[in-house]
Chains A and B, each alone.
Chain A
Amino acid sequence: MTKLGFYPGCSLEGTAREYNESVMSLATLFDIQLEQVPDWNCCGATAAHNLNKILSLSLPARILAQAEKAGMKEIIVPCAACYSRLSVTQHELFENSELKKQVEEVMDMTLSSPIRILNVVQFIQEFILPHLSEKIVKPFDKEVACYYGCLLVRPHDILQFDRLEDPQTIDRIMEQLGAKPIDWPFKTECCGAGLSVSRTDLVAKLSGKIVKEATERGAKAIITACPMCHANLDMRRSAINSYLAKKYDVPVLYITQAIGMACGLNNKQTGIYRHLVKVNN
């Protein structure tokens, strides 16, 4: 059994509960043990880096320090936003020893060396893909729009993941499941992110463009790897539909749910019944 460090982040315990359920179900199916970072905290999200630089570094740094203390060499971070915050923090602190000292003093913990921070796509590529073909029982035989959002690929000089414009990794994984990824220009457009509650009108507009484009190009599902993108495209669908003055019902699936469905996991294991836009399987 492979044992890996795991940072779920807050969304995966609340609004993105089904993301967590599908990640954990996949881990069980592929004989992987995901061990949570002990006593983890929130990464600070948009609010922290908008309001206070040191706070926005100290909160993720505490998570990294907790992981290091537990002897973790790598952590799997399914939330794209947490993945970005943790990666940017680690990069900034190990580039700037003075800043690192300041943050260590604030959190009263130390960081000795960088650890590997893997997003969900990297996790799938490394630990799921090698054994995937033998587990597929029900190919995902549909046109899909692979939607990467912002924070899996940006800032690119730090994350160094996939291609900055027109990334391909999720498309390739979906192909392995039997799906037909569509060619579309909104792969890395912003859904409106943290403005979901405070400016729902803008999220309806930005996410509306994504839902409309995916639908018009024939996608039967949108595939995502970010709880914020999912929340905006799924939970905010009624606001999107009022903005577009048309009923769009294309479902939004986490990539882990799509893999789970293809591997024959039931709705409880994938959590697809928790979506507001109904998923027909």
Chain B
Amino acid sequence: MNNELDIHIGVNPARCYQCGKCSAGCPLADDMDFTSNVVMRMLQSEDESLDKELLQSQAIWLCASCEMCISRCPMEIDIPKIMDYLRQQSIAKGLQNKSANKNIISFHHSFLDMIRFTGRSYEIGMIADYKLRSRKLLQDLTLAPKMFLKGKLPLFPEMVKDRKNIKRIFKHIDT
């Protein structure tokens, strides 16, 4: 995917010389199956089986887009942009990591589905949807009432008035 990345997002992993600063600064490196410098090396190899492994990895979903890696990269390689591209390719090719699919990816889908219908985020609706998708029905059962009592969980969604426009934006995305 090395060339593909250059064409589609203008970022070239071949420039990486493995100093490892990105992984040293990455707050989630400990929990990743491939740390960011390894991701760069895998992309450089131009090996299709390694590309596939990357798209199936959990690392691309654990990346929190904190942008620490690019901040410290001496070659200024936009690793967060690469991660965005890998996630989108992973979905497009149906190669999502099974474990990430149950939580992180489900949450993203719940979030976007909510925006699609209301135009704005609405916690109760989103969390209900996420619980169904992830089957984590019992999660945060003690936190939610506390938040509600503090006035942090509005019962009804705030909606964008021009929902046609929001629909239009999502329609272009779907096709």
Residues of A within 8 A of B (CB): 10-11, 13-17, 39-42, 44-56, 58-59, 62, 105-109, 150-151, 154-157, 164-165, 188-190, 192-195, 197-200, 202, 206, 235, 238, 273-276
Contact = CB atoms under 8 A, between A and B. Distances in A.
A39 B152 CA distance: 22
B127 interface: yes
Contacts of A56: 84
A50 B108 contact: yes
Nearest to B76: A157
B103 interface: yes
Contact of B165 (A13, A62, A192): A62
B172 A53 contact: no
B166 interface: yes
Given A198-B103, A274-B150, A47 B112 contact: yes
B64 A194 contact: yes
A235 B111 CA distance: 19
Given A206-B27, A274-B151, A41 B88 contact: no
B153 interface: yes
Contact of B28 (A10, A39, A150, A202): A202
A17 B151 contact: yes
Contact of A49 (B68, B70, B76, B84): B84
Interface string B79-106: 0100011011001000000000001101
A55 B170 CA distance: 7
Interface string B136-154: 0001100100110011111
A190 B152 contact: no
Nearest to B169: A58
A122 B35 CA distance: 35
A117 to B, nearest CB: 17
B19 interface: no
Nearest to A102: B172
B71 A54 contact: no
Given A15-B147, A48-B112, A53-B84, A198 B104 contact: yes
B51 interface: no
A51 B108 contact: yes
Summarize A's interface: helix, strand, loop or mixed.
Answer: helix
A155 B104 contact: no
A242 to B, nearest CB: 12
Contacts of A48: 112, 115
B45 interface: no
Contacts of A150: 64-68
Contacts of B111: 45-47
B4 interface: no
Contacts of A55: 112, 169-170, 173
Contacts of A47: 107-109, 111-112, 115
Chain A to chain B: the 5 pairs with minimum beta-carbon distance, closest first = A10-B121, A154-B67, A190-B66, A47-B111, A198-B107
Nearest to B173: A55
A199 B165 CA distance: 33
Among B27, B62, B127, B162, max chain A CB count under 10 A is at B27
B152 A108 contact: no
Contact of A46 (B65, B88, B172): B65
A42 B87 contact: no
B115 A39 contact: no
A275 B153 CA distance: 13
Given A39-B162, A276-B146, A10 B112 contact: no
Nearest to B162: A39
B60 to A, nearest CB: 9
A14 B169 contact: no
A190 B106 CA distance: 22
19 contacts: A10-B158, A14-B121, A39-B160, A39-B162, A47-B111, A51-B112, A52-B88, A52-B173, A55-B169, A56-B84, A62-B166, A150-B66, A150-B68, A190-B27, A194-B65, A194-B107, A202-B62, A238-B143, A273-B150
